[in-house]
Structure 1
Amino acid sequence: MTINWVDAAAHDEVPQEDVIGLAVAGRDIALYSVEGEVFATDNICSHGHARLCDGFLEGHEIECPLHQGKFDVRTGKPNCAPVTEAIRSYPVKVEGGRIWLAIE
């Protein structure tokens, strides 16, 4: 299977230890910069229709701004109630100062 890498953003567009939201290949994506690494997930919480980029990033956890559920930005797995359903995470690579996502 061939991986389709999509150019998402310039690496310097994502502030260190923060999150931004952007549209990539027709999807609402959250990009996170944590400890020098970049992670990507869907930007919409699986519990309530809230944009995770408006939430609070602490370490590898993003807290939903609506009901304070938390997800691991590395895997998309929920870490506390009220969220129980994972959000999708995407493979990321950084090349030439650009962030690339593997999106089907």
Structure 2
Amino acid sequence: MKKINTNNKYLKPFKNIYILILVVFVVWMIFFDSNSWFIHHELNSEINDLEAEKDYYKRNKDNDDKAFKKLSSQQGLEKFAREEYFMKRENEEIFIIEYEDSLKTKDNE
């Protein structure tokens, strides 16, 4: 049976009980604790993703508010209905003119 050399220069710092306790504490906090570094890192990345999503929705809210203001008036609502749903008034004819480059084809979809 081989004896462990107690004079090894790498094992010397671990003979001190304070260093040994500190190493165990650090390993515990990084890997095993419920508030470990890995969990904090994951939660911080999730917070960053949610903040980016929040900014995205704030920017889109401004655009939606502008569109809502346009649709709030009678003229805006009528314009939207005519352009999007091709609605018309009584005794009125609508001609839809589409240019060749504005048509949807398989190439430009």
TM-score tier (shorter): under 0.3
Greater strand proportion: 1
**Highest RCO, 1 vs 2 (Cα 8 Å, sep ≥ 6):** 1
Higher alpha-carbon Rg: 2
> Normalising to structure 2: TM-score of the pair?
0.19
